[in-house]
Structure 1
Amino acid sequence: MTPINHSEVHEFILLGLTTRPDLLVPLFMAFLAMYMVTLLGNFGIIVLIRTDLHLHTPMYCFLSHLAFVDICYSSIILPKMLVQILTLEKTISFSGCAAQLCFFITFGVTKCLLLAVMAYDRYVAICKPLLYPTIMCGWMCWWLAVGSYAVGVFHTTFIFTFFCHSHVINHCFCDIAPLLALSCSNTHTYEVVILALVRINCLSTMTIIFVSYAYILLTVLRIRSKEGRRKASTCTSHLIVVAMFYGAILSMYLCPSSTFVLDENKTATLFYTIMTPTLNPLIYSLRNREVKAALMRAVGRRQ
């Protein structure tokens, strides 16, 4: 086939998760429910942190940013998926696909960095409690949060390459791997660069997280006070979120390049793009005493 450049590609066709008609309604209901939980749960956490003075600390500042990223992350993908399932409209414009991919990369990288920043925050709070107000001061928290978004934007340098006449995307949204599969040109260099960027981002942030929690674990073993152990208990919910998010990413992007594009990757992608934003507010609410206490105070004020 004669290749055409991206200026001649006006739209793509998304194959979606399944072609079975009997699964469309259950999928629509499931994704709609998850999206509503994601919006209500994460927006509720943001409002709770902003309105409760007891939660005006660096840790909960970063948590509110994480909740905002989760809302954006899901909103990039789920509304379009719901419309496609409901109307059976499988097409997406070239500009829409480009925007979806750029925002997907931006908020994905930002989330990785925020999880690393939150781990560092817990390390300072538990291992260096006397220096915590100095190290995690207001301007430092602001720069760490802004820096996370800035690095995420920087990673959107992925460029659409040449496509063949067939521009059917074997996915439910515009992800990197299925887009590379449409290229008529040799994409080996792009795959190497993309995998390198993903691996550097994942491994660097995971290193920060693991080193932080290694020091936290050593410190907790020496802590005797209840207050110290209470601070350590706030790490549990964060570790659960980290394990879910990175587990799905590692299964996709740290695999050999020969398995870079697989149908099975759809499930892994949906897990860290849809499931984790849905579960995050539940995890932080149910496993965090301060959040539960703030929620009880908010409910008490309304009664």
Structure 2
Amino acid sequence: MNAENSPKRRKNISYAKWGYLFIAPFFISFIIFSLFPLLSTIYYSFFKYYRQGLKIIGPTFIGFENFSNLFRTDLLNYLGNTLIMWIIGFIPQITVALLLAAWFTNQRLHLRGQGFFKTVIYMPNLIMASAFAMLFFALFSDNGPVNGSLQALGILSQPFRFLASVTGTRGLICFMNFLMWFGNTTILLMAAIMGVDPGLYEAAEIDGATSNQMFWRITIPLIRPIMAYVLITSLIGGLQMFDVPQILTNGAGNPDRSATTMIMYLNNHMYSKNYGMAGAVSTVLFLICAILCFLVYFIMSGSNDSVKKERKGGVHK
């Protein structure tokens, strides 16, 4: 009797609880360290809650007053600074990364020492941004090695104050972000290109397609999902830009606050213990980031759908 019933009992055993058990640590960590702080930040953005000396004012519910006060400040200027520095740094980053990824994965070139080059281009990503900023602060200071070399070569008659000009400060921040992240982008794009079916390139080569045509007609459309991932993660990181401009400008964002980012502005409110305004800044930044990321995602996914329709149309024809 027991022997007959044992197979039925085994069939009724459910292993779903083990799946829930294994994924529970992630959801518990997410709720404690991400979801709860996010909800509390949004909650306190509707309150007057700050410290004045030793006295704590609030929390007092004031509705959307923090948001209305926020948009009367230079918030949009700081958002513009952040987007400008991200765009200037991202365009050369994605361009150089695409070029290197295409070279490293090109079977015709047979480049040697690829492992060495991959390690070298990825190395800046391992260096702390604070150390990178301190290095550039020393290199490009008024009496630093860069100015000394340019004067010795006769290019400059007097030191150029990189950190006293808007172009120089923003240029250094963009250059540092480019150096730190182009290696990581290159590795991701290389992985995407290596996932493309080699038979497509062979068929295109037989049909007489050039290297440029294969790159733009085959490689780019097929790696568009990874391109979307790179763009979205870079956009999120760009909107959260803080450590490099904070250290390079000593927290002031000078000259004329042209290097002040959204997170630096948020940090000022956190430092002054104005939790209500800090919550409002965080909420606005979250909404801007979410909207831009959704726009990028839908634009990229829409272009993917158009490519698929063109292929199907070509096949039916």
Give the TM-score of the pair, scaled to structure 1. Answer: 0.29
Larger Cα-atom Rg: 2
